[in-house]
Structure 1
Amino acid sequence: MKTFHCNRCSHLVFYENVRCERCEALLGYVPELAEISAFEDAGEGRWRSLHPRGEGALFRQCHNYAVENVCNWMIPADSPDTLCRACQLTRTIPNLSAPDNRLYWYRLEMAKRRLLYTLAALGLDVPSRKDDPESGLAFEFLEDGGDGERVMTGHDNGLITLNIAEAEDAYREKVRSAMGEPYRTLLGHFRHETGHYYFSQLVENDPRWLEPYRKLFGDERADYGEALTAYYRDGAPKDWQGSYISAYATMHPWEDWAETWAHYMLIVDVLDTSTSYGLALLPDDPSEPTLTDRTPIEDASFENLMKRWFPLTYALNSLNRSLGMPDGYPFTLASPVVDKLRFVHRVIAAAGDKTQPREAAKPAPLSAPQPVAQPMMSQEPVQAPVMQTIAPSAPPLQSEPAAVKAAPAKRATRRR
């Protein structure tokens, strides 16, 4: 994600901010500009953008910004909508009368908005159920039922269900440790589950991609229920690191795609951030990896992304160790995994309006460069540190709902 600045005082601000800490200007994200803008009060609930590209346009705060305090997106003042584009995607929210659920809702929405930023940067359409009732994207944030029924995080025909317990740090870490995962984050869940969604939108019914997909990932027509049972009974193959990005990716070709998609999203998001900050690596030792390329992610070839990724993660892991923290990127990319990432890149390039057309016309080749090996602390799974942002104090509950209230617990297919 790129950097943002207050348009009134030029102070550095962040994607989640609602006020400039220097001049106290109201801040809000304007999706039409893909920018955080500072605003001045224009009266009657309207706010005038101070962003140079905003040209003084008037906006209103999303209902979930002005009332519920879990959003920071803005809506054009003349729009009939009360919810922003991001909040319209959330079909069910947690029961806000339960302790901590508002904080969990805030964390879920924050992760979802970060995902939406990356999808937009890559030129991918994100239709809502309002836009496309049959196959638009929607989210339900549910909690386990009092009768012991569990909510399974997963995807089913555009409906993504997340168990709100994943927004509780101790619970998520307990599950991560039990499953032997390198790390487990809310943003990672959103990336993974939307991978399932975009498989159905971009690959499943497109012969241009389906056969190359099957050569790389396997036949998605294999029985998912049987594969799920076998995975939790037998675990991943011992040599899974040679062909898969994660142990879970070995379970079924659908999950291999979703895990690879999520990893590609991670790579481009981190590279986008480092590029925006002007990060460069110029070591004294010529044998050390360097990083000077600042090609925007939407214009970069796959080879360019990979060439920049190794030195960046090398520095990231070294910095984390200096902080006394586990490696921030505890992965090794074997050649078959690089092939799969390249395939994801080309599918996105074909679908995105702003990605490179020169790579979009042909399927991914089955050859790959040498594995991209990352320095590891140990062979044991480690957790990448996650910077938590605590939601500001929430206002009292309002009578107007922010979205449909929590429905009965349900299970989702293609679950994790």
Structure 2
Amino acid sequence: MKTFHCNRCSHVVFYENVRCERCESLLGYVPELAEISAFEDAGKGRWRSLHPGAEGALFRQCHNYAVENVCNWMIPDDSPSPLCRACQLTCTIPNLGVPDNRLYWYRLEVAKRRLLYTLAGFGFDVHSREADPEHGLEFEFLEDSDDGSPVMTGHDKGLITLNIAEADDAHREKVRTAMGEPYRTLLGHFRHETGHYYFSQLIANNPRWLEPFRKLFGDERADYGEALIAHYRNGAPADWQASHVSAYAAMHPLEDWAETWAHYLLIVDVLDTSTSYGLALLPDDPGEPTLTDQTPVEDASFENLMKRWFPLTYALNSLNRSLGMADGYPFALAAPVVDKLRFVHRVIAQAGKPGQKPLSK
């Protein structure tokens, strides 16, 4: 994710900000510009963008921004919808009468908007299932029922269900520890489940990709139920790290794809952020990893991304350890995993908007 600045005072602001900490201007994300903009009040619920690219256009706050305080996206003043593009994708929200559910909803929406930013950078248009019943994508945020029946996070024909308990940091950490996972985040859940969605959209019925997919990941027609039972009964193979990005990826080819897809999105997002900040590694010891390449991720080849990724994760883990925290990147990528990541890169590079080159091949 790139850096953003307030258009009134040039102060650095973040993607999630709603107000500039220096000049107190209202801030909002304008997806048409892929930019955070500062706004001035134009009256009657309208706001004039101060971003040069908007040329003084008028916008409204998304309903979930103005009323619910869980969004920060803006809508063109002439839009017929009260919801922004991101909020239109959420078809079910938590029961706001339950304590903490509004906080969980906010956290879920923040993670979802970060995901959408990355997908837009690939050139992917994301539409709701209401607008595009065949190819659309929607999210429902549900909680376990009163009788204890759990909500299972998952994907089904364009509908992604997330258990809102995953937005509870203590609960998520408890589950992560119980399952022996090195990493478990809300954004990771969104990335993983959209991996299943994009498998159905980009690979499942595409002869160009399906056979290469099966050579790398395995046959997705293998019985999923049996694989799931075997995974939770026996665990992952002892040597899973030799060919998979995570233990869960070893469960079934579809989960291997989703985990690899999610990992690729993580890599691209972090590299995009570090490049935007001009981050470079120039250690005094010539034997230490260096990083000087500032190629934008959308112009970078896969080899370029990987060459920059490993020095960056070395520094990231070192910084985290200095803070007394766990490694920010607790993964090791074996050669077969890198091959799978390369496949994801190729699929995404081919699938962007016509006329747009979202990534170099």
Per-residue deviation at 1:125?
2.4
Residue 48 of structure 2 contacts residue 57 of structure 2 at CA under 8 Å; is this kept in 1?
A: yes
* Counterpart residue identity of residue 155, structure 1: H
Which structure has more helix as a fraction of its residues? 2
Unaligned runs of 5+ residues in structure 2 are none
Q: Does 1:316 align with 2:313?
A: no
Q: How does 1:389-408 map to 2 (within 5 A)?
A: none
Q: Does 1:24 align with 2:24?
A: yes
Q: How does 1:323-342 map to 2 (within 5 A)?
A: 323-342=323-342
Residue 302 of structure 2 contacts residue 360 of structure 2 at CA under 8 Å; is this kept in 1?
A: no
What is the DSSP-based 3-state SS (H/G/I as helix, E as strand, rest coil) of the residue aligned with 1:94?
coil
* Counterpart residue identity of residue 334, structure 1: A
Residue 18 of structure 2 contacts residue 72 of structure 2 at CA under 8 Å; is this kept in 1?
A: yes
What is the DSSP-based 3-state SS (H/G/I as helix, E as strand, rest coil) of the residue aligned with 2:297?
coil
Task: Show CA shifts across 1:97-155 (max 9, x none).
Answer: 00000000000000000000000011122121132113310000000000121100000
Residue 124 of structure 1 contacts residue 348 of structure 1 at CA under 8 Å; is this kept in 2?
A: no
1:218 alignment counterpart? 218
Residue 348 of structure 2 contacts residue 359 of structure 2 at CA under 8 Å; is this kept in 1?
A: no
2:345 alignment counterpart? 345
2:270 alignment counterpart? 270
Per-residue deviation at 1:358?
6.1
Task: Show CA shifts across 1:13-34 (max 9, x none).
Answer: 0001000011000000000000
1:412 alignment counterpart? none
CA distance 1:178–1:355, shift in 2 (3 Å): farther
The CA distance in 1 between the partners of 2:124 and 2:77, in whole Å, is: 26
The CA distance in 2 between the partners of 1:323 and 1:174, in whole Å, is: 22
The CA distance in 2 between the partners of 1:324 and 1:84, in whole Å, is: 39
Q: How does 1:1-400 map to 2 (within 5 A)?
A: 1-353=1-353, 354-355=356-357, 359=361
The CA distance in 1 between the partners of 2:110 and 2:8, in whole Å, is: 24
* Counterpart residue identity of residue 73, structure 2: W
* Counterpart residue identity of residue 196, structure 1: H
The CA distance in 2 between the partners of 1:123 and 1:108, in whole Å, is: 23
Q: Percent identity?
A: 84
Runs of 4+ in structure 1 over 6 Å off: none
Residue 348 of structure 1 contacts residue 355 of structure 1 at CA under 8 Å; is this kept in 2?
A: no
- TM-score (normalised: structure 1): 0.85
Residue 299 of structure 2 contacts residue 360 of structure 2 at CA under 8 Å; is this kept in 1?
A: no
What is the DSSP-based 3-state SS (H/G/I as helix, E as strand, rest coil) of the residue aligned with 2:41?
strand
The CA distance in 2 between the partners of 1:92 and 1:18, in whole Å, is: 24
Per-residue deviation at 1:48?
0.3
The CA distance in 1 between the partners of 2:119 and 2:168, in whole Å, is: 25
Alignment length, in residue pairs?
359
What is the DSSP-based 3-state SS (H/G/I as helix, E as strand, rest coil) of the residue aligned with 2:107?
helix
Task: Show CA shifts across 1:301-355 (max 9, x none).
Answer: 0000000001100100111111111111111000000000000000000011344
Task: Show CA shifts across 1:200-240 (max 9, x none).
Answer: 00011100000000000000000111110110011000000
* Counterpart residue identity of residue 76, structure 1: P
What is the DSSP-based 3-state SS (H/G/I as helix, E as strand, rest coil) of the residue aligned with 2:345?
helix
Q: Alpha carbon RMSD of aligned pairs, Å?
A: 0.9
The CA distance in 2 between the partners of 1:306 and 1:7, in whole Å, is: 34
The CA distance in 2 between the partners of 1:201 and 1:31, in whole Å, is: 23
The CA distance in 2 between the partners of 1:24 and 1:53, in whole Å, is: 21
The CA distance in 2 between the partners of 1:106 and 1:237, in whole Å, is: 37
* Counterpart residue identity of residue 300, structure 1: A
* Counterpart residue identity of residue 247, structure 1: A
The CA distance in 2 between the partners of 1:127 and 1:235, in whole Å, is: 37
* Counterpart residue identity of residue 343, structure 1: F
